[in-house]
Structure 1
């Protein structure tokens, strides 16, 4: 079936149900950013495969909303599909809610599968429909009736992290969670976000490609915790450990009926952005619903000393792999055929040589030449091209290790590159350096600091259409709330920066049809001096890979910029060179030389 045929089949089902519009988000039942194959309904219906986007199908129109990372990709993939691209945040582009409020007729009905729409989003849609006396029917997964060969839910086994990795037991985490519940006046806490549940239980899974998450729900009370999961995924030892912590196992989908059976006098703590609309509507009407960010979100974002030590070790391993990859590229480009896909595979092979490596922490982004201007480009057999021998090659990749997850972007220069490319490369480097050296008082959020990164680009009349950074989970989500660097405040990333958080610093520049550049290091937020003005914080870069000096224009840099880069490269050499052979070590000395 083609995309137009699928949309036609969906409209026939909409007619049967009396729907005037049908919403198809990217989410799974847990509001995950990335989803398993079973949940890729939006990609199936529209042909757009990016990680973020929402489709709305009406009786006569079809639209897809996505953000700036995917404008180019979405335009290409939607061509000829009959689906209109709505570029989020652009002038004269309606929001999803405004569009739906406009197209729904008086007394009309919006349909969607309530399991894959967040509670908060469902509430916003309901508010948008009220002026027209519109209704929501969240009971039907219409895509499932069309998707004949839909992949089943994952049945892959779970694995557990010991205290040597987590630094904190599940029992201690539950004590902290219950204290937070008490402070909010709640006696029941419903969890659907996979990373919150995995952090609490110290379990991981393999149910979403690249992300070590376990499909599950949980209900925590002051006395016990129920974990809703396919029991076949757990070993006898895992079940025994969970039981010791007062955690009982229930079938995965039993959570919906169990929520209905909560008492009217219960006070239920839920996170509107991390609980699905169907579960929210199953809470008994008499119960008090307390809408707050899950306490686990901030707890897991502030890594403990054990986690930070492990994360730094993971970055040293990853630094060895990526540095060896950079050396291999520099020595072999133009001598042997290297494509975007084969380069990504070669980098993964270097990571596989590192102890404790599991798998890539997200889908690799490896774009050569003009492909690098597509912010989240992912090569396919149809788009795969040779890596340029005269130009720039962007790689945004990461590794999942038992000690944590990594996320690094490096842009490599080969052969003859233009002055414009060098100017853009150096501008991005300056953006990265400016943010990395920030010192700030506690209470500052990433929103307050984002302009520090963008200033070198703004001074040239340039900008980039994505956030400057995001939190990183410990062998979990590579994009982790509640902090990030962003121009516009997003609810899930507006929290103050806290010591122990790990966050990325990844400015870029993208010149469509020519080249793209991004330079990304992970940062740990550390405590600095405490003065009469409060506790100050600073950033420690923990990504240890050279920034390609072949593309740097030193005359664009001030002395403090050069000293900062030189100090960073000295650290890279100190930590990485002992793990290289003699030839690689000599090469690294050249690529970490002082400028």
Structure 2
């Protein structure tokens, strides 16, 4: 069944809610209030009770924030959402291109601001520090206070309190006790008494647990304090942890006692400035805080051999479901009558037919024709468009399986399209191939980061004067968040790539009002085989995890090099070998034709 998890909001409700918020600002004697798209866990996805930005403005993107002043309300959005935002927010909100325009610079252009308020639980230490630096000398004071949106949101949903579940040590590839012991030793070596872990996926990884508090993301709404003596305090409600099999050194502490527990801890506590709420910094004495990265982040990103095997298995299962879907789509779409919601519903059905799907890994993006140009488009009853002949259909989707998380995008032609669409598709494909074939040196200190590789995916587009306004790839969890850091493929991804890191490889191109193109496979960093005659140095490359045919009808072979053409034929040959035994009948016939050599 097609479902949406958005809060009730629309452009029509925006003016009334904005007026109510401004009235509350007058009562509190403040000049502005910040409304981020964040919860206290700083995750990309939030529970309905925490979706304050969507409730106030109507904007449902996964990143952004609003700054509400007495006479202007800016909604700050990045390049992924600049088309989407105009259809979702009322005229009382002014879209602001971000990060090109920073909040501090925007505020300097406004007048009559002396007090800007914010909820200290919804902003990280680093975010507030950067804003304070940006506002230095302006006379604008940042004022932490209770959330004013919550005051006016009379029918706000209740917070989730779903029970947590154990995650198999065999699938994780390491016991929770081993992880805790290893990281506690690192804290002792660094002279730190504890590390406060605020990201739910880090808590899930450390304790080998999962949850259902956030739709599409199997993470628990919990924080934890990892101590250097290998004791752990898990902050959540007792009922949520009642069914867990926890180590004897893990104690469940009520979330309401979290701050008091931190204050009572003897010795310095590590806080990750990019993840820890500013409220924690406020609560602790300055000399008790040591700034440092969440100790779970890098170990979690370096997948174990068991997690990589699980990812391979999950992608073969998911690939078979995708092939059945694409075969169905090729048969049904030319008949007419299909809508975007029909496609989303059918695709989820094929995944559920595996009898292994726990959930989809994010709300499926299915954009027909011009809707495909909206990078993170999510169809609803109001925007639902027909799938028409002579147009492109962009489908970005994924599944959550116990053994792995998948994320795949395919752009499909419905009937025939023109040479412009084919040329753009081919250039996007060339970028995806360039990343897939990348080979790069490994250094024990430093190393090659995603920012060093991002241009490989863009170069074929740049040659034609084209580009896209999103990163080329993001990290992916192991039955965890489909978007996982710190690894990535983008200009901002500065973390060195290491063996075991799983990433997406998804260049694209979007022509507003016409079409969108994106092609996405998941890849894992591996140790590269030595090349005869090469230097005796360690090298890394990528193993492709996703095996689903590309749309050969959209490939302009005249643009391809011989190496690119060979890569496509080899990829399709591998796809047929891996997925062929998993499908039959019409789906197998379709797969054989789709994997034919160019």
Question: What range describes the TM-score normalised by the shorter chain of this pair?
Answer: over 0.9
Runs of at least 5 residues in structure 2 that lack an aligned partner in the other structure: 1-11
Query: What's 1:49 paired with?
Result: 60
Query: What's 2:283 paired with?
Result: 282
8 Å CA contact 2:14, 2:90 repeated in 1: no
For residues 87-236 of structure 1, the aligned pairs below 5 Å read: 87-90=97-100, 94-103=101-110, 108-223=114-229, 224-236=231-243
2:565 matches 1:558:
no
Deviation at 1:59, TM superposition (A): 1.5
TM-score (norm 1): 0.95
Deviation at 1:101, TM superposition (A): 4.8
8 Å CA contact 2:334, 2:415 repeated in 1: no
Query: What's 1:86 paired with?
Result: 96
Specify whether residues 101 and 179 from structure 1 end up closer, same or farther in structure 2 by C-alpha distance, changes over 3 A only: farther
SS at match of 1:484: strand
2:578 matches 1:575:
yes
SS at match of 2:116: strand
For residues 68-79 of structure 1, the aligned pairs below 5 Å read: 68-79=79-90
SS at match of 1:456: helix
**Aligned residues: CA RMSD:** 1.5
2-structure distance, mates of 1:387, 1:112: 44
Query: What's 1:445 paired with?
Result: 449
2-structure distance, mates of 1:235, 1:195: 19
Query: What's 1:7 paired with?
Result: 18
The worse-fitting range, judged by mean Cα deviation, of 303-312 and 246-255 is 246-255
8 Å CA contact 2:268, 2:287 repeated in 1: no
8 Å CA contact 1:105, 1:132 repeated in 2: no
- Show CA shifts across 1:153-178 (max 9, x none): 01222221111211111111111211
Deviation at 1:533, TM superposition (A): 5.7
Deviation at 1:452, TM superposition (A): 0.7
Query: What's 2:326 paired with?
Result: 326
2:34 matches 1:23:
yes
SS at match of 1:165: helix
Deviation at 1:261, TM superposition (A): 2.6
Aligned to 2:467, which of 463, 469, 491?
A: 463
Deviation at 1:378, TM superposition (A): 0.6
Deviation at 1:136, TM superposition (A): 2.3
- Show CA shifts across 1:130-185 (max 9, x none): 32344322221110111000011012222211112111111111112112323432
8 Å CA contact 2:195, 2:225 repeated in 1: yes
The aligned length equals 579
For residues 392-411 of structure 1, the aligned pairs below 5 Å read: 392-411=392-411
Runs of at least 5 residues in structure 1 that lack an aligned partner in the other structure: none
- Show CA shifts across 1:285-335 (max 9, x none): 342x22122121110000000000001000001000111100000011132
8 Å CA contact 1:65, 1:85 repeated in 2: yes
1-structure distance, mates of 2:306, 2:207: 17
Query: What's 1:416 paired with?
Result: 416
Query: What's 1:512 paired with?
Result: 512
The worse-fitting range, judged by mean Cα deviation, of 152-161 and 557-566 is 152-161
8 Å CA contact 2:14, 2:89 repeated in 1: no
SS at match of 1:295: coil
For residues 328-343 of structure 1, the aligned pairs below 5 Å read: 328-335=328-335, 337-343=337-343
1-structure distance, mates of 2:548, 2:111: 52
SS at match of 1:348: helix
For residues 252-271 of structure 1, the aligned pairs below 5 Å read: 252-263=255-266, 266-271=267-272
8 Å CA contact 1:195, 1:477 repeated in 2: yes
2-structure distance, mates of 1:209, 1:582: 34
- Show CA shifts across 1:528-581 (max 9, x none): 146756310001111010001111111111111011011111111011110111
- Show CA shifts across 1:244-273 (max 9, x none): 2x010011232122223334xx11111111
The worse-fitting range, judged by mean Cα deviation, of 246-255 and 465-474 is 246-255
1-structure distance, mates of 2:38, 2:422: 39
8 Å CA contact 2:322, 2:548 repeated in 1: yes
8 Å CA contact 1:69, 1:374 repeated in 2: yes
